[in-house]
């Protein structure tokens, strides 16, 4: 499964993942640092959400500056 890392504008192949939590872990990231989005529906995914193999997924970083 290819994941689009928005901030780096590149794709990473992560193989098969069951859910969002596993995906984030596979990428070596922390749940509090990223937002995971299903590209076609433009929907924000929660960590428990199951990932369908046909989905296109993108990772966006959490920002909190003011």
Partner 1 sequence: MKKQHISRYLRQTMIEGFDQSKLSDARVLVCGIGGLGSAVTFYLAAAGVGEIIMVDRDKVEETDLNRQILHFTHDIGRYKVVSAYDKLREFNPEIKLNPIPANLNESLLRSLPHPDVIVDALDNLSTRFILNEFAVNNNIPLVHAAVEGFEGRITTILPHRTACLACIYQGVPSPRTFPIVGVTAGLLGVIEATEVIKLLTHMGQLLLNKLLFIDLQSWDFDIINIEADPSCAVCGANGRKR
- Summarize as ranges the residues that interact with partner 1 (CB under 8 A): 30-33, 35, 37, 41-44, 46-47, 60, 62-66
CB of 40 to partner 1, least distance (A): 11
Nearer to partner 1, 13 or 42 (CB): 42
Nearer to partner 1, 13 or 62 (CB): 62
Tokens describing residue 41: 């529906």
Nearer to partner 1, 14 or 35 (CB): 35
Q: Tell me if 14 sits within 8 A of 3, measured CB to CB.
A: yes
Characterize 9-33 residue by residue with b for buried, 16 or more Cβ atoms within 10 angstroms of its Cβ, and e for exposed.
eeeeeeeebebbbebbeebeeeeee
């Amino acid at each position: 499964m290819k994941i689009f890392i928005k901030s780096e504008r590149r794709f990473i192949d992560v193989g098969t993942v069951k859910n969002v939590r596993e995906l984030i872990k596979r990428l070596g990231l922390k749940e509090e640092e990223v937002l995971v989005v299903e590209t076609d529906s433009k929907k924000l995914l929660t960590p428990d959400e199951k990932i369908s193999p046909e989905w296109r997924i993108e990772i966006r970083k959490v920002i909190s500056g003011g």
